[in-house]
Structure 1
Amino acid sequence: MRRGALGLTTALLSSVLVGTGLDAAPASAATTTAYTLPSTGTVTLAGHGYGHGHGMSQYGAQGAALAGQTWQQITSFYYPGTSRSTLARTIRVKISADTSRDVVVGPRSGLGVLLPTGEVRALPSNGAERWRLEVASGNRASVDYLIQGTWTRWTTFDGDGAFTAGGQPIRLYYAGTSHRFRGNLAAVRPSATSTDRDTINVLSLEDYLKGVVPSEMPASWDPDAVAAQAVAARTYAAYQLQTPQGSTYDICDTTSCQVYGGNDAEWAASNAAIAATKGVILTSGGKPAFTQFSSSSGGFTSAGSFSYLPAKDDPYDAWKRSDGSFGNPNHSWSATVDVADIEKKTGIANVAKVSVLMNDDHHVSKLTFTGTGGKVVTVYGDTFRSWFGLRSTYFAITGRPTTTP
C-alpha cells in the first residue's frame, strides 16, 4: 500500500518458470498474443492502473463519489455480493520500524504502565525526559526513566507490560524519529522464552482507522469516497482479526498490510468519514470480506480470490475534473523496457519473441520469452512488473503482433 491514494499492494511473485509445461487450462477469458521483439533497443508498453487492481479503485471511488454515488453504492459496486454488518473490537498493530528491545515514550499527563495483572501503575511527575520498558535480567520487564542523559530503574516485574494514558495519545520514540499513537504501547516478547520485544499498539478498531484512512487516501477527497475507504479499511482489518499475521499481533503498519500512521496522521475530514460509517464492515457468508483495494484499476478490475472480487469494467476510474482534464494520473501510462535488460533478467542471450497470456483480456498473467537458440523462459506478470517497476500488470506491448493464437 502506498500513501496518497496509491493503495494496497500484494507481494510480488519472484519465481521464474523455465520451460513450456506450465499451464493448466486458463480462464475462459484468457487470450495469448505473440510479439516479435527487436534484437536491440527498447519495447514500449501501454499500461493502465496502479496496483494489483483487486477490489476498490481508490481513484475510482473518488470518480464515483463525484458522479453522485454514495459510499454505500461505491462499496457495493467494488465488492458486489457483500452485505453490511457492524463490528466493535480492539486490534493489535505491530510497529514494524521499532525493532529494538525496548519501548521508549515521552512523558505526559496520565501516563502509566499496564502490568500483566491488569493493574495500571501511574508514573510519577519526576522530571523524566523519557520512560522506557526494557528487558531486565532474568528476562523480566523493567520500567526506567531518563533524566539528563542517565537512565534510572523505577521497577521490574514478570511478564510483558504496556504504556497507557487513558486513551490519550502517547509519543513513541523509535528509529531516530517519534510519532504519537492512541491506545496502549506494549513491549511484547514474540515467543514465550524470547529476550526480544516487539512494539505493539493496542487500540480500538475505530481509533486505528483514524491513522489508516488518511494514509491511504487524501482526506480532502469527496466525503463519500473517504467513507468508502473507511469501510474498506475497517473490513480489511476485520478480516485480519480472524486471520492474524502473528501470535502477538493482528496486523502490521506498512504496505504489506495497510499503511498506519498513528495519531500524527489523523485529519478531521477522514475522522468524520470514519464516524459516519462507525463500525460498518462488509461481510460474505457472515464473515468479514477480504476487501482489497489499490490506487487505480485502469478501467478494469482484476479478479481476486473471492467471488466479490470480480474482473469487470470500472467506468469511474477515468473521471475528469471540471475543466475537462483527467483527474486520475494512473489511469493510463506508458513505459519503455530495454531488450538487453529483458535478456539479462531472463538469461536468454538473444531473445526473439514473447507470448503474452492475459487472464481476463486485460491483465498479464504470464510472459513466455523465446530466444533464437530455442531457449524458453516464462515469468509471471507480477514478476515482470517487479523487474521493471511497472505500475500494474494491466499493460500491452505496442506494435504489431506476429500471431494471435
Structure 2
Amino acid sequence: MLGPHASQQSHESRSFPMRRGAFGLTTAILSSVLVLSGLEASPASASTTTYTMPATGKVTLSGHGYGHGHGMSQYGAQGAATGNWGTRGKTPLTWQQIVAFYYPGTKQATFAQTIRVKISADTSADVVIEARSKLQVLDVATGTFRSLPRNGATRWRLTPAAGGQTAVAYLIGTTWTTWLTLAGDAAFTAQGEPMRLFYDAGSRQYRGRLYSSRPSATSTDRDTINQLSLEDYLRGVVPSEMPASWNVNAVSAQAVAARTYAAYELQHPLAAYYDICDTSSCQVYGGYDAEWPNSNNAIDATKGVILSYGGKPAFTQFSASSGGWTSAGDASMPYLSSKSDPYDDVRYPDGTSANSHHSWTVAVNVADIEKKTGIGDIAKATVLMNDNHHVSKITFIGTKGRTYTVYGDTFRSWFGLKSTYFAITGRPTTTA
C-alpha cells in the first residue's frame, strides 16, 4: 500500500470492500471503498464547522493519512521502530511497545491454529497444480490420502463431477486423463512442500493444502481454498502488507497485528467453508511466492503471539498512515482509540519526510460536488467531525434551501481521497 511494496488498506468493515486497513503498501487499496462503516468512532468529541462554498471553481481539501486510521499506522510503526519521527533522534520502540501504543488495553496471549483462505485469483471451478514429488490427494469425505504417481504428467487437476463427485485427472502432453473419481470434495497436498497453483492470470505457489470446495452441499460450483497453519499463512501476509526491508521491530509489530487479525477472523469466519479472503478486504495474502527471509524471521521471533481483549483475540485493524491522529473504532473495541500519533510523521535519516501520506491536499470541482448531491448550486457545507479530526458527515446546503448529507466515507470514495481525516481549506463561517 504505500511507499513500500504491498497492498493498501487493511481492515475496514464487513459492509465495505476494505476491512483491514493495511497500508497503503500497494495500489490495490486505492481502488477500494475505504471505510469502516460498521465501526464508526464515538461522537463524544464531535464538532461541526460550516464553510461558505464558492459558486464556481474548486475547493481545496487539506488531508492527512491513508486508510481508515483505526489501530496501527504502518508508517507510524516504522517511525517508532527507527526513532526517526518528527525532529528525529528519538529512542526507538520495541515491537512490544509499538503494539501497546496502537492497541492500548490489550494483553499478549498465544494462539495456534490452521486457517482456510479463499484464493480469489482462481475463478474457475477446477484446481490445477503443477506435478511434483510428494503429491497426494485427500478424499475429504473419508479423510483418506492417496499418493499421486510420477507418471510423466505435468499437471494434476480436481474437477467437479456429477452428483457432487470430484474427478482427479492428470495432463500428459495436451491430453487430460481421469485417474480417480471421489464421492465428494478433495484437496491436494505435497506433505508440507509448496505447490504451484495455475489460474487464468498466471500461477502462484502455496503451502499447506489446496481444496476444491463446494460453497454449499447442493452447489455445482467450486472455490479454491488454501488451508495451512497460521504461522505459514503469515509468511505470505506480512511482506504483502509491509516492506520486509523495514525495521525488524516494525515488521514484528505487523506480524503480531496480522496474526491477531487472523485469529479474530477465525472466530468470525466469512463462510462455512473458509475463514478469510486473500485481498485487501481482509489481509493481502500472497502465498509462498510472497515470502521474504526478513519477514519470516519477524514471524518466527513473535511465534504464536496475539493481542487479546476480554480473553478473546482483538480486532487489530491497521492502515498505511494515521496522518498523525488515529480514529476510534466501535465502542466495544476501546483499544481502537482516537489519539495523537506522533510516530506517523516518520523521517529519513536526512530529516525529510518518509511518509507521503502524512499530509496531502486535493482540489475538488464544486460542479462535481453539485452533480453528486443533485441539489443545484451549493451555498454552504457543514462538516461534522467525530473526533475533531475525521469527517463523519457533510451536509451541503443549496442556494434554494435544499440539503444533502453524505457520510465522510462516501465522500472519500466519491473523490478518491486517501482518508476521512481532512478539512476544507478556507475560513469557516461558524464552528461548534
**TM-score (norm: length of structure 1):** 0.95
Q: Is this contact kept in 2: 1:212–1:261, CA < 8 A? A: yes
After superposition, residues 189-338 of structure 1 pair within 5 angstroms as: 189-305=214-330, 306-338=333-365
Residue 44 of structure 1: aligned partner: 60
AA aligned to 1:310 is S
Residue 191 of structure 2: aligned partner: 166
Q: Is this contact kept in 2: 1:5–1:59, CA < 8 A? A: no
Shift in Å, 1:317: 0.4
Query: Which residue, out of 61, 84, 108, partners 2:108?
Result: 84
Q: Is this contact kept in 1: 2:194–2:207, CA < 8 A? A: yes
Residue 205 of structure 2: aligned partner: 180
State the Cα deviation string for residues 18-73 of structure 1 (Å, max 9, x = none): xxxxxxxx723111000111111111000000000000000000000002100000
Moved more, 112-121 or 360-369: 112-121
Q: Secondary structure at the match of 1:180?
A: strand
**Following TM superposition, where does structure 1 have runs of at least 4 consecutive aligned residues deviating by more than 6 angstroms?**
none
Q: Is this contact kept in 2: 1:7–1:58, CA < 8 A? A: no
Q: Distance in 2 between matches of 1:78 and 1:148?
A: 55
Q: Secondary structure at the match of 2:430?
A: coil
Query: Which residue, out of 82, 88, 95, partners 1:66?
Result: 82
Q: Distance in 2 between matches of 1:7 and 1:72?
A: 23
Q: Is this contact kept in 2: 1:6–1:58, CA < 8 A? A: no
Percent of aligned positions with the same letter in both sequences? 66
TM-aligned CA distance change 1:185 to 1:71, over 3 Å: same
Residue 373 of structure 2: aligned partner: 346
TM-aligned CA distance change 1:272 to 1:80, over 3 Å: same
The reply to whether residue 10 of structure 1 matches residue 35 of structure 2 is no
Residue 393 of structure 2: aligned partner: 366
Q: Secondary structure at the match of 1:336?
A: strand
Residue 402 of structure 2: aligned partner: 375
Q: Which runs of 5+ in 2 are unaligned?
A: 18-41, 84-91
Q: Distance in 1 between matches of 2:16 and 2:396?
A: 17
Residue 401 of structure 1: aligned partner: 428
Q: Distance in 2 between matches of 1:209 and 1:4?
A: 14
Q: Distance in 2 between matches of 1:278 and 1:28?
A: 38
Q: Secondary structure at the match of 1:281?
A: strand
Q: Is this contact kept in 2: 1:13–1:380, CA < 8 A? A: no
Q: Distance in 2 between matches of 1:118 and 1:191?
A: 19
Q: Secondary structure at the match of 1:172?
A: strand
TM-aligned CA distance change 1:234 to 1:13, over 3 Å: closer
AA aligned to 2:413 is S
Q: Distance in 2 between matches of 1:72 and 1:404?
A: 40
Q: Distance in 2 between matches of 1:275 and 1:139?
A: 40
Q: Secondary structure at the match of 2:420?
A: coil
Q: Secondary structure at the match of 2:45?
A: coil
Residue 18 of structure 1: aligned partner: none
Q: Distance in 2 between matches of 1:242 and 1:80?
A: 21
Residue 100 of structure 1: aligned partner: 124
Q: Is this contact kept in 2: 1:54–1:302, CA < 8 A? A: yes
Q: Distance in 1 between matches of 2:162 and 2:49?
A: 65
Query: Which residue, out of 166, 172, 189, partners 1:141?
Result: 166
The CA RMSD measured in Å over matched residues stands at 1.4
Q: Distance in 2 between matches of 1:191 and 1:377?
A: 43
Q: Distance in 1 between matches of 2:307 and 2:162?
A: 47
The reply to whether residue 110 of structure 1 matches residue 103 of structure 2 is no
State the Cα deviation string for residues 188-215 of structure 1 (Å, max 9, x = none): 0000111111100000000000000000
AA aligned to 1:254 is T
TM-aligned CA distance change 1:277 to 1:377, over 3 Å: same
After superposition, residues 16-35 of structure 1 pair within 5 angstroms as: 27-35=43-51
Shift in Å, 1:9: 4.4
Q: Is this contact kept in 1: 2:73–2:320, CA < 8 A? A: yes
AA aligned to 1:355 is T
Q: Distance in 2 between matches of 1:91 and 1:322?
A: 40
State the Cα deviation string for residues 205-248 of structure 1 (Å, max 9, x = none): 00000000000000000000000000000000000000101010
The reply to whether residue 54 of structure 1 matches residue 70 of structure 2 is yes
Q: Is this contact kept in 2: 1:296–1:331, CA < 8 A? A: yes
State the Cα deviation string for residues 148-191 of structure 1 (Å, max 9, x = none): 11111000011111000011000000122100000000000000
